Every structure is written in C-alpha cells, then in structure tokens.
Structure 1
Amino acid sequence: MLEPELKRLLQVLKWESKKKFVSNRRGLLFTSDRGRGLDFKEVRNYQYGDDIRYIDWNVTSRTGELHTKEFYEEKDATIIIFIDSSNSMDSNKALTAFQLALFLSLFHIKIGNRIFLVSFSDKIISSQKWLKTELEVLSFFESFSKQPKGNQTNYTNAYQYAFKVHPKYAVTYWISDFIDFSESVKKTPLPKIWDQHGIFIKDQVDEIKLPVWMKLFQPISQESIQLRNSISTYEIDLTAAKSFFGNKLIKIDPNQKLHNQILPLFKVNSNV
C-alpha cells in the first residue's frame, strides 16, 4: 500500500526518532515515554522499576508472568491529519495525498503517538476514533481508498469537526491543493490553536506561464473542471496558505519522488 521509497524512509525516521525528542511544542518529533496518563495504551510485560500499582492482575494470572498497564502520557503527541478528497484532487494528486497521509500515520504510530484522520470535501469521512496501532491505520486506509470523492472543499467544516473531537493542543497536517483556501479563510478565519503544518500539492497546470491571450484556453485545476477565466485563484490561494502556515508549509510535486520532498517536515528545532 505504501510506496517502496516511503517504506525505506519510514524505517530511517523510526530509527532516528529513538533519540527521544520531547513534546514541548517546539519540535515536531515527540517522545513516547511510558507513564500514567489519561488514556489506556496497552498491556505489556512488567519491567524493573514499573509502578506496581498498575500491574494487570487478570493478565498476570492468565499468563503466569507479571504484566502492567501502560497509559499515554501528556508527552505523547496528539496528531490530526486532514486529507483533501474534493473534486479538484485529480487521480495524481489524490494518490499523492493518500501516500503522504498513510506515511505520516504509520510514522507517528511507530513512535508511539496517536492519530485522528479527517477526509474532507463537502462531506466529512473520519477515522471516528483515535488510531493507536498499525493494523487500525491500514484498515482505515483500505476503507478510505474505496470512498468516492466529494465536491467542493470545505476547510471550515473540517476544522470545526476535528475541534469538537480535540479542542486542545495537537499537531496537525493539512494535505491539500488548497483551492479556494484564500476565500475560505477570508470568510471564516481558522483559529491557530493547533501546531499546523501544510502540505501543498501542486498542480502543474496552475504554474504554466503562458501568454495572456492563451490563458483563456488553458485548463485550470478547479472544483468543477472548466476553462480558465480571466482570474486565477492559484497565486492568492498559495499566498493565503503561506500566511496561515508560515514556515510550516511545504510544496509537493506529484510528478516527483515523494521521499525527498517531505523531509522538511521532520526538521527538529535545535533548541529541543
């Protein structure tokens, strides 16, 4: 399901993440320190130094070996991934978005974080729960791959939906071509409560520089496919995205290898 190059990158980043970056909102990679938090994580073998108050006596009596309950700590990162599934995401862009969302999901699961997935257009399709295992992630994406596209992109509905699920600090990724993003944030500004990262999937048709007289005949990447009119929203949408995400926006070319293009997402603040 995941491209071979991204699989190899996943292993490299997983190894690097063992350096245990802390989650103090200054970096992107987070520790999965064991501890007592609010959410149950798993039952595992007891290790010397574990708090005996959290021994799972049911599993211990069943297996004959000491087992303890592990919980997500506040240091574990909460990850929300938004995937644009509107009409403007043609087959090439949609495949790129799928690969990137799957890669980010598997990466964060492997380093102990929990994730919530939101596919958005004029309708919302979500994971409906926090995913904490690789099996849960693969199951979601298997189902997601069979879903039809929606129509118009609605960034506001996606934000409000996820905010109801998690109104606290989180690390988020928005994977989109950001069509009509400028108009959307103008009508309904998105609060910057989360640590938000933008992944702008380019459409080469929007970047082709043609003489003015030819632009009327140039196809444009839009929610409803039509000929380009005298005003293109590409530049203002890109400007709006840069303003909203700042230096946490990266541009992805679907026609190039992905594994090199996404590395800027994993730069860690040297102060961490």
Structure 2
Amino acid sequence: MYDPFLTDRLIDQWLAEDIGGCDLTVQTMIDKDERGAFCMNAREAAIVAGVDVAARVFKRYDPSLEVDVLVADGERVERGAILVAVKGSARSVLTAERTALNIMQRLCGIANETAKYVEAIAGTQARLIDSRKTTPGLRMLEKHAVLCGGGLNHRLGLDGGVMIKDNHIAVCGSIEAAVARARRSLPVLTKLEVECDHLEQVAQALKAGVDVIMLDNMSVSDMRQAVRMVEGRTKVEASGGIRLETIRPIAETGVDYISTSRVTQAAIAVDIGLDEAR
C-alpha cells in the first residue's frame, strides 16, 4: 500500500544520492548507443516485496527502458527466480541497478521477517502488527513490505490515531483525564488507544471506554489476566520486547494484536542480483 507519486519523489532522491554528478564508470566504459538485456533474480528463497518499486527505479531514470515485472508482491519465490527483466540502454540499466536492488533487498527482508512472526502465531486469534520504528523516509514502503509478509499496519503516522502513553498520562494526571482531553477534539472515525504498564491501568482504561488497550512489557500471566478483565469489550494489543522466541506464549493469552519493531529493525536484506540475460 504505497502511493506512486510519493514513491517517485523518493526514487529521485535515491538516484541523486547514488549517481552524484554522473556514473563515471559507465560514462567512461560503455558507448551511449550500446544496449543490453538484464534480469533481477533472487539468489535465495524470499517473499517478494517492492518489485514494482524496483521496476519504477529503472523507468524513472530512463523511460525508454523496457521493464517487465515477472512476479507479484507477496509471492513466495525460490532461489533463481527471475523477478524483473530490463532491456535497453546498457548505461541506464547499470546506473540504476544498485538503487533498484537496494530497495528491493530491504523490502523483501522485511517481508521475510514478518512472515516468520506470522507463522509463529498461526492458529491463535492474535494478528501481528508493526510499529512506527521504521527507517526515516521509508515508512510507507516498509509498512507495505509488512503487508506483503502477512502482517498488519499499526498507525502509519502520528496523525493516524490517538496513542496515550505514560508521558501523556503523566502530563494529564490520570488515564481518565487524558482520555477526556483527547475525546474533546478527536475526529469521529479515529481510534483511541491507551498504553498500560500494569493491571490497575487496564481497569482504568477499560472504564474510560478506549478502543484499544496496549499491554506494555507485561508478563504473560498479567497479559492473560488483562484479557480476562477486558472480556472482549475492547481490543487488546501486546507490545514491548516481542521476539520470535517469545511471541507464541503471548499470542496464546488471547490478545487481539501483537506489535513488534523487530520486523522492520531486525530484518536482514535478501540477496538479489542483476545479471545479463541469457
């Protein structure tokens, strides 16, 4: 879920950063009329994310290039799969190559990491969601990659919902007061979530009638108790220190959502290369 107009603005920045004044290597070695055919291929199994973005990089740099996208975002591919085929000016393809590879390697890595967490909680009612801990400038695309991996998006930005945290509560004096202040000017279709560190706060948030209660860094036993307290009257999210090896017991407490920054912050780039087509 990304906007092509905004993506093109990002691509312009990426290309400008990488090229500088010119691609000195191709300018000195490759004739301007020389043409080539190349393929982006997966050098390891992966979940595809950002393939259309990678294709847009080539077309953005040189609209005359012939670019064929051969897979779809969210698709699982094996090692050796051809992802994108590019034909045209050899200079153009080789100049834009690294930028296209970089973004797709990053996004596929996030999709892969997300899928591991989603698989770990399969069979429970919990859904995996991401956080705002994304690479500055890449949030739109990194959150798209989470969707490709089977996860869900939390807020896309600060304007996507009200999240009352401990410091907000400290300023306002209590959860009740913080919620009351927020509701005075809250847009009617916007949800309100409160972060709770202990069970007393869960009771207070429930009384205040919030839309989502976040259980922040609670023990599994306290999470289980919180779910019993809520009794389905509102959604419950678990957050804080979530890791692949700890997520299953958390999901089994009955929470609705589990949020983690690991899917974006700990993702390992997928090995993708560009080779001459045969």
Choose 1 or 2 for highest CA Rg: 2
Say whether the fold is shared (TM-score over 0.5).
Answer: no
Higher relative contact order (CA 8 A, sep 6+): 2
**The structure with more helix, counted as a fraction of residues:** 2
Q: Give the TM-score taking structure 1 as reference length.
A: 0.30
